[in-house]
Structure 1
Amino acid sequence: MFERFTRGARATVKGAVGQAERGGADSVTEEHLLLALLEQEGGRASFAVTALGLRDRRASLEASFAGARRRGGLTKADTDALAGIGIDIGAIVSRVEGAHGEGALATGRGGHRWWWSGHRPFTPGAKTVLEKSLRVALGRGDRFIGEEHLLLALTAMPGVVADVLAEHGATYATVQRALYGPGADGGQGQAKAG
């Protein structure tokens, strides 16, 4: 599948590996893919990221990701659902951190399994984003996978990254409008559902 990636999409994937390395993460996650997209310049996704103001709010995005990691990777929807049945995640995190130290529930740090091979593995979620980007590209009738398809796939995948993007005004629909203009569907309804 990687042979179908444009130069910019390949640079994004390589940039995600760099993000994971700089952050000391055991594996490459969806978050790393998004942060690498924020660093890309000159492509369609770069235009959308700038138009939606995400590039200027990188610190806020990173703070939201840090908060989600601190909650053990729970999304805002998960936290709200648990609150609806009387479970206060904030209180649980505080008690666990009081007993075991700050960041005790944080995800993405640990055993360094990548050390043996020299390569950091991609998490199942990050692999799914890459696969979904192919479906997004095919759904739009595109032969190659570009950074814009990666960005759309990140917004279409349920989870922390999509939640954080939505909190910052970047939903699947707003990204699609920024990329292709108002009313541009291009078969995207099928690709998003797939």
Structure 2
Amino acid sequence: MFERFTTGAREVVTGAHQAARDLGNQHIGTEHVLISMLRDENGTVARLLRERGLDAATARDDVRRLAGGTEPGPSRAETEAEDAAALKAIGIDLDKVRAAIEENFGAGALQLPQALPRKRGFFGRLYASGGHLPLTPRAKKLLELALREAVRLHQNFIGPEHIMLGLLREGEGLAARVLTEHRIKFDDLRTELERSLTDQAA
């Protein structure tokens, strides 16, 4: 499916990854895809949504509010201290376990490597294996629906407009809630997106 994505559609997916990171999320959801599309100031989707009063900054703020905020969790040191206390309560001394591991496997056996190995991800791009964020099931469905929209319109490419049509068709994720809160009429937006795609294909 991804070989049919236009450059713009690929940038939507990679931009969604960045939007998720910016919000401190560990997944890529429909809301991140929406923010990514809105960040493309010259894109058709962003233009149509701006005309309806929604821009990237507003969508990002709405996502934070609707998702319950992005309060930072406990620090790694706090988490490790809590884990050590919980283990001690059941008779396991974490310091002794660490010492035994280092005695058997060498000093630094529990240390992570400085540079994580790089792997190929979406569209052949390299990423550190610890830095790749997974798509939520709803975001995967959105991309599948984008393909269905392209097939329905008899188009052999998938652009950002198809992704937006997929988002409208999915209609239940956090992105759809943001659109609904801004009283964006899905049918009207769908009509304009289809018109834009027809013009592109002509």
Shorter chain as denominator, the TM-score bin is: 0.5 to 0.7
Matches within 5 A, 1:99-110: none
Distance across 2 between alignment mates of 1:45 and 1:24: 25
Q: Is the 8 A contact 1:20 1:32 kept in 2?
A: yes
Corresponding residue of 2:190: 176
The TM-score, its normalising length taken from structure 1, stands at: 0.63
Seen in structure 2, the aligned counterparts of structure 1 residues 166 and 129 have a Cα distance that, compared at 3 Å, is same
Corresponding residue of 1:163: 177
Distance across 2 between alignment mates of 1:70 and 1:115: 29
Structure 1: which amino acid aligns with 2:45? A
Q: Is the 8 A contact 1:4 1:143 kept in 2?
A: yes
Aligned-pair CA distance for 1:4: 0.5
Corresponding residue of 1:14: 14
Aligned-pair CA distance for 1:166: 1.8
1:144 to 2:157 alignment:
yes
**Paired residue secondary structure (2:67):** helix
Q: Is the 8 A contact 2:37 2:43 kept in 1?
A: no
Q: Deviations over 1:109-133 (max 9, x none)?
A: xxxxx98543111111111111111
Aligned-pair CA distance for 1:45: 1.9
Aligned-pair CA distance for 1:41: 3.4
Distance across 2 between alignment mates of 1:17 and 1:69: 17
Bigger-Rg structure (1/2):
2
Distance across 1 between alignment mates of 2:26 and 2:188: 32
Q: Is the 8 A contact 1:152 1:172 kept in 2?
A: no
- Out of 58, 64, 67, the position equivalent to 1:66 is 64
Q: Is the 8 A contact 2:31 2:173 kept in 1?
A: no
Aligned-pair CA distance for 1:5: 0.5
Structure 1: which amino acid aligns with 2:173? G
Distance across 2 between alignment mates of 1:164 and 1:27: 18
Matches within 5 A, 1:34-183: 34-55=34-55, 58-70=56-68, 116-157=129-170, 158-181=172-195
Q: Is the 8 A contact 1:4 1:144 kept in 2?
A: yes
Aligned-pair CA distance for 1:137: 1.2
The TM-score, its normalising length taken from structure 2, stands at: 0.61
Q: Structure 1: which 5+ residue stretches go unaligned? A: 72-101, 105-113, 187-194
Q: Is the 8 A contact 1:27 1:123 kept in 2?
A: yes
Distance across 2 between alignment mates of 1:138 and 1:9: 16
Determine what percentage of the aligned residue pairs are the same residue.
Answer: 35
Distance across 1 between alignment mates of 2:10 and 2:184: 23
Structure 1: which amino acid aligns with 2:155? D
